[in-house]
Structure 1
């Protein structure tokens, strides 16, 4: 057992027992009428429970009395209303009772069976993280004050390599096998569409399999990223960590969202195991680009909006969209993007502690924090952030860029912005500007949905129709902010107990000590090539903030009537 107060690195010598957890929608048939009923099921240290929805977990009920004895997959297919195939399994308790549950996703069913049986073993005999993964404790992918992110490889390497080979052969043959293998890995599947999604943005749905073949080199291997939440951070931010676990599970699988593989609890910590993205931070990649143009921006925004649309279809608001929370799956500049960091994510219109990043946060969250804390957020706050990201990707600065935090907050609250300076925007198409204008509507009700934005003519246009004029001004800014000299950091804040406070984000990588609670790009990436930093270090914290930034944000707090410590600080590359 790891002695209390020891660092995460000490877990190598003092491992602690872990127990698996899983959340998702499952189906069952009513006892008498045999009607199909969907419920939200949760397996964690407290037992196996269910509720009518994730938001209703405070009123959850046990599935049966007693502990789980075993879970058995039933390969006899059942057809639900409308002909949907359901994959079943039986969960038995040690008291003799049992329940039949179903999923419309075979691989989700198999994950549930594996998690349940692993949970049974963990209560009978201690199971450790090292039983599941070969972990590199010596070179963390990212470190901060509240979490550390480690690279690891699954111990079931034989099965992983076989699946990878299956996936490769399916892609090469262009057969249904590709779809099967892609569904397993969650690389190119959209649950909403039930089909392969085109990595080039989906301007024509039938191009998905062909794009998959082009990017076959990016199919995942047995590598994973493990974010370890420090014991002290879990105690203080337990509600946020538990919400992230539930919401990330609810997000499900999407080609442009980093996949959560499993969650493990110990007595004092939580471990998030997610897919590993080798491409590093998007902005670091763009800073090294030599031919960056509107075509690239449109491709990135199509993929980002597809991820946002998927979240919104699940009734989920990401709430902290920004460039630092976008990573690349592979090391090619045209690799698919992945959206990360669900630490501020919440369900629509559910009481929450609103937060965000000052230059990307919607003005209504600053103007009416009490209302949004009570009533929760809707999809419109993400649409505002998409507009700011689009503006940033095209020009290199946000529309609310200013020399002080006070001025940034003032501009955001007023919704004041223009396409300036003129020499930067004169070469950018009217279509791109119109997309931004649609997103940056001060009235949240006037902002379009993510699905509607995906139909915008500028995004629907074929890549050959986009301007290829180099965005030199944006490149200049990217290289200054994200190039080899360092990595940009935009600190997130969250409203807690009536005040705004910095999330535990932001210590430069490579420093001693444990963790960052939320994951920025560092959480799920490996150091990129050409000496670029592994990511934006969005997991850092107050300790890394220079004193003048602390004073600056304290003055900004006076302006907003709250205590706001968000700031921007530089971080150095891992290993430097």
Structure 2
């Protein structure tokens, strides 16, 4: 548990206070390792983030982006949000010591189940929604909600607890500030991100809709063969409820998804709307019975989810090759368009551009 007096960036060596263990995972500019605090014997996860050494470099993460992630994490304390415990900085890295979340991805856990009804599915989804409600109550948008960032604290318990992780793209949405940026994972980004429009908390709700669609079918509503095709599908709202995948899905569940995959942000469900939706919170016994009797076709879920992961792995290889070619060419020439940023520590098809935020004029 962190304390209010915790230093933001400790300049001492992390291994003076922690025993560093085996690697748990890695991304483009980060590696996560198990660690144990010497003074307490408690286990944590140490995320080593490679800092960008110069403005012209494309390797590493900009320090201001790391600072934003740290400051946001330090303000968060919720059962469904990963907890920041400590922060260290060296000449080349920043190390975030985080709560150890070792239960694996929620969807990997579900793919191993023998059966799953919608009532059980909504128990997990409600935890995601509770985490998002906490973030949105603080005017924080995650901007990268996806299955890979929905992790179980411990899968070996009757009802595993959900933890939302990775706040590298998260931003606090300030009232009266225009915020436009093209970033995120193409498969889960909202149309307003694709179209470079004003962004807000609504973008997270779209991502929850995509997650729910995948949760009930294994299929991804907008995923194309290329990133461009995926973004085109998002912008065109090109999705449906294929009977092959949604033949046993309740109309309540489909209505929930439709309310989230709404292009007009003013009509899209808010987090409170989602939590009050009858699929999540039945208003009568009939709706509760529908949830119990409607089942997820896990055979389809496993087959489609494996296909999705395979497509992503192919895209990761393509992205790595693209980045290698970019680095060989050197820094790009500046232009009037947003500069492409590849400072994600994710191994996904992640889009990042230099943010453009400014105060609205009094006449706008």
Same fold per TM (> 0.5)?
yes
Per the TM alignment, residue 260 of structure 1 is displaced from its structure 2 partner at its CA by 0.9
2:170 to 334, 341, 345: 345
Per the TM alignment, residue 148 of structure 1 is displaced from its structure 2 partner at its CA by 1.3
Contact 1:318-1:346 at 8 Å conserved across structures: yes
- What are the Cα deviations for residues 39-88 of structure 1, in whole angstroms up to 9, with x where unaligned? xxxxxxxxxxxxxxxxxxxxxxxxxxxxxxxxxxxxxxxxxxxxxxxxxx
Corresponding residue number in structure 2 for 1:380: 202
- What are the Cα deviations for residues 549-574 of structure 1, in whole angstroms up to 9, with x where unaligned? xxxx9xxxxxxxx99xxxxxxxxxxx
1:228 to 48, 53, 59: 48
Contact 1:263-1:270 at 8 Å conserved across structures: yes
Contact 2:52-2:63 at 8 Å conserved across structures: no
Other structure's SS at 1:403 match: coil
Corresponding residue number in structure 2 for 1:360: 188
Q: In 2 relative to 1, CA 283–486 (structure 1 residues): closer, same or farther, beyond 3 Å?
A: farther
- What are the Cα deviations for residues 287-308 of structure 1, in whole angstroms up to 9, with x where unaligned? 2222233233211210111111
Corresponding residue number in structure 2 for 1:153: 36
Per the TM alignment, residue 455 of structure 1 is displaced from its structure 2 partner at its CA by 1.0
Corresponding residue number in structure 1 for 2:325: none
Other structure's SS at 1:446 match: coil
1:477 to 300, 304, 316: 304
- What are the Cα deviations for residues 168-195 of structure 1, in whole angstroms up to 9, with x where unaligned? xxxxxxxxxxxxxxxxxxxxxxxxxxxx
2:4 to 96, 102, 112: 112
- What are the Cα deviations for residues 19-42 of structure 1, in whole angstroms up to 9, with x where unaligned? xxxxxxxxxxxxxxxxxxxxxxxx
1:328 to 152, 156, 160: 152
Distance 1:362 1:470 in 2: 25
RMSD after superposition? 3.2
Q: In 2 relative to 1, CA 438–309 (structure 1 residues): closer, same or farther, beyond 3 Å?
A: same
Corresponding residue number in structure 2 for 1:524: none
Distance 2:339 2:116 in 1: 37
Q: Does 1:294 align with 2:101?
A: no
Distance 2:253 2:102 in 1: 30
Other structure's SS at 2:305 match: helix
Distance 2:140 2:254 in 1: 27
Q: In 2 relative to 1, CA 468–442 (structure 1 residues): closer, same or farther, beyond 3 Å?
A: closer
Corresponding residue number in structure 1 for 2:140: 316
Corresponding residue number in structure 2 for 1:280: 104
Q: Does 1:130 align with 2:11?
A: no
Corresponding residue number in structure 2 for 1:540: 347
Corresponding residue number in structure 1 for 2:362: none
Unaligned 5+ runs, structure 2:
54-58, 320-333, 355-364
Contact 2:61-2:343 at 8 Å conserved across structures: no
- How many residue pairs were aligned? 321
Contact 1:504-1:541 at 8 Å conserved across structures: no
- What are the Cα deviations for residues 361-384 of structure 1, in whole angstroms up to 9, with x where unaligned? 0011111x2x43xxxx21110111
Corresponding residue number in structure 1 for 2:211: 389
Distance 2:160 2:314 in 1: 23
- What are the Cα deviations for residues 99-125 of structure 1, in whole angstroms up to 9, with x where unaligned? xxxxxxxx76xx134x36x98xx7xxx
Distance 1:303 1:490 in 2: 30
Per the TM alignment, residue 398 of structure 1 is displaced from its structure 2 partner at its CA by 1.8
Other structure's SS at 2:187 match: coil
Distance 2:116 2:312 in 1: 19
Corresponding residue number in structure 1 for 2:331: none
Per the TM alignment, residue 142 of structure 1 is displaced from its structure 2 partner at its CA by 1.4
Contact 1:362-1:412 at 8 Å conserved across structures: yes
Corresponding residue number in structure 1 for 2:326: none
- What are the Cα deviations for residues 344-365 of structure 1, in whole angstroms up to 9, with x where unaligned? 1101145464411111100111
Instruction: State the TM-score, normalized to the length of structure 1.
Output: 0.51
Q: In 2 relative to 1, CA 241–151 (structure 1 residues): closer, same or farther, beyond 3 Å?
A: same
Contact 1:502-1:541 at 8 Å conserved across structures: no
Q: In 2 relative to 1, CA 387–486 (structure 1 residues): closer, same or farther, beyond 3 Å?
A: closer
Q: In 2 relative to 1, CA 487–361 (structure 1 residues): closer, same or farther, beyond 3 Å?
A: closer
Unaligned 5+ runs, structure 1:
1-106, 161-221, 506-516, 518-538, 546-552, 554-561, 564-576
Other structure's SS at 1:258 match: coil
Per the TM alignment, residue 397 of structure 1 is displaced from its structure 2 partner at its CA by 1.3
Q: In 2 relative to 1, CA 385–145 (structure 1 residues): closer, same or farther, beyond 3 Å?
A: closer
Distance 1:501 1:393 in 2: 32
Q: How does 1:37-436 map to 2 (within 5 A)?
A: 111-113=3-5, 115=6, 127-136=12-21, 139-157=22-40, 222-232=42-52, 237-250=62-75, 252-332=76-156, 334-349=159-174, 350=177, 351=179, 353-367=181-195, 369=196, 371-372=197-198, 377-420=199-242, 422-436=243-257
Per the TM alignment, residue 243 of structure 1 is displaced from its structure 2 partner at its CA by 1.3
Distance 1:227 1:411 in 2: 34
Corresponding residue number in structure 2 for 1:467: 293
Per the TM alignment, residue 500 of structure 1 is displaced from its structure 2 partner at its CA by 6.9
Corresponding residue number in structure 2 for 1:93: none
Higher relative contact order (CA 8 A, sep 6+): 2
